[in-house]
Amino acid sequence: MVETAVASLVALIVLSMISLSTISLTRASVGAVQRGSATGPALLAAQEVQQIISRAWVPNGTSGVTSMCSGSTNGQTPFGSMDGPFVPLSGTPVTSTDVMFCAVDLSSTTTAHTYELHFTNCNSSNVCTLELDEDPAYPCTQSCNPKVVWTTNDASDSGTPFDYYEAASGWTTPVPPAQVVPSEIQAIQVTLTLASQAYGGSRFESVQRMILLPNTLPSGGS
């Protein structure tokens, strides 16, 4: 009987260890799936953002690109005279969650429009839709509505999704949006945080990209 009791105790310990190991492995697997389900969309969104921002264009007469850029979302304001591709927003050139800029079209290498990259439809948890709009060309007199180019759901606007770097900052410290000089922006660091609702709980994963702008190159990159 003593031998049976000892054997039973050992078996119970072994089964408990196996059970704990199984639980740990299951949790690790679920965590990996959750991270993957959030990281994948974040990577795709970062790629889209990098593609359009890297096409930011400084209007000039030597590049062979026709400017259809306007300084407003309704296309009724001429694009401002500046040395950079950015459009002032409500008195502030850029914000940490909303930026308008002139860029060569995604579907054309000879035309440029004003694009707005911003967060919209945010809920109480700061989970939003990240949206890229193409604004109508100046001068627009009718049907002057922005065209949605693409959207990404479950994006967080918390923190600073868009950080701006100028030569004066030495590329080490981002410049606060209210102090940014559009013509001196050399790079934008984009931090995209997307939520995943898979497997019984939300999880946030972030992807970061440092995007060099064309106005850092000779002749505005033209």
pTM here?
0.77
Pairwise CA distance, residues 139 & 201, whole Å: 48
Task: Lowest mean pLDDT of 8-12, 33-37, 91-95, 164-168, name the range.
Answer: 33-37
Domain assignment present for 4? no
Domain assignment present for 116? yes
Domain assignment present for 155? yes
Domain assignment present for 172? yes
Task: Lowest mean pLDDT of 114-123, 136-145, 187-196, 202-211, name the range.
Answer: 202-211
Domain assignment present for 25? yes
Tokens standing for residue 104: 């060569």
How many domains in the chain? 1
Domain assignment present for 2? no
pLDDT interval class at 84 (50, 70, 90): confident
Residue 198 and residue 33 in contact, taking contact as beta carbons nearer than 8 Å: yes
pLDDT tens per residue across span 163-199: 999 877 777 789 888 888 877 888 899 999 988 755 4
Domain assignment present for 1? no
- Least Cα distance to 93 among 26, 33, 9, 175 occurs for 175
- Rounded average pLDDT over 2-30: 50
The range of the structural domain enclosing residue 139 comes to 9-221
